[in-house]
Structure 1
């Protein structure tokens, strides 16, 4: 692990309170905490609760309880994203002023219908690194008058990043192709200075009408505000760094280093997830497992 000369390293663990923590979360939390200790750095906890419809107070409380049970400690106060929408609104306004985002009024059904109308089977339509179909461009090139009309009608919309234009602008600002430093290893063995390829995501959603941010924008802004110097997270989030690095350049934010780590998988090779109902730390604790057992189970 490469140390950051001249200043203290700052790391974070940033779970979403939309379910119980499982072994995958324990691995990420322990990886960040142990790395911070090894580097004599700071360890922060951040609650990523912008998904107001799915996040619950009981899940947030459980995060604190589970991490403390594992023996982790963190600085106070804990940053909760839902309390900092103004920070994300300011970043979104800057992107809007640069003419790099546009309102998209397409529903999921409209997107699916537009893809079907091309005659290309959905399984053959290009997908982003998360598996979602690439946006087919609906509403991207409508006139300003039409956009204003739809907004005045109260139509729901998402702010999408014009990724091609944004990348060109970011490279103009940087004066070179964009890269980031990977201290760990990406899913395909990527390490060292890695190229940024945000086009893989197409015109990604950057905010919504009712919530002035998305995961990509909030994470980028928060990491800068909190002075994170080393971002540690699972290899599944390696491609997201393409978007985050581009946003850092566009918004004039500092560049952290990254360290993506292995994922915890079940016996079939599937990575653990909340949506799949994988056993949480609370259930494992109730079944008699100890913090030492959990550490062994995730390789610590």
Structure 2
């Protein structure tokens, strides 16, 4: 079994980001102080130049003018350095809010956006939805094909989820192989179901990584604001619980927090029918030649030639 790598905790990531931000803030403060000092010196020198103009000849005045121009150039260079520090600080602040692997918003940023979305929805009388997406059998891929391919699978999943939602919605990595999708301004459950089906369809498209062809499935738990709660963490917990109920229905389905036949759906029928159930649940094999002989080939082949 491939040894598990250490994944920094949220607290460790937060502490590392705080240290980086503190360093950049200190650099920015120093640069701003240098700019202020240079500007004060420039203003003082301008006064001296004006006074010197009245009492000095052309030669001495030219020397003072040259010195003044040099000071102006030095001030501009310091200002440019300050601008670079400010941009670095902005970039570091943004990076601290993104997952390093998938470049999706991290858990902290999702909670911040969720809190603001709830406040906005409360004022406008709108509804929100949260989808808790858990990748099925990801550990099997990680243990069998290795963490490098596992990382690529997570990146692929992130792109699939992002493609299934609007720009105003938020897709975030919750941790490990779990993702959250925040949908704003959704009036009817059918709108949420449509997104869940788009997510399932996007993940289900076969794709190739190296010599391996994979097809992903996920179990999705759904809750709604304000129907299922009015606090971000409560809604996340309830969507998580609904996700486990979706898993019991069969990998690849979805379930709402409120139970009922109309609020849940089993996974779609697989494209490959096989009497060996292990291949149905794993949904991947390294090459087509490794697939069990009693699996029927799909009508339209999704496998690349080797």
Superposition TM-score, scaled by structure 1 size: 0.25
Which structure: greater helix fraction?
Answer: 2
Larger radius of gyration: 2
More RCO (CA 8 Å, sep 6+) = 1
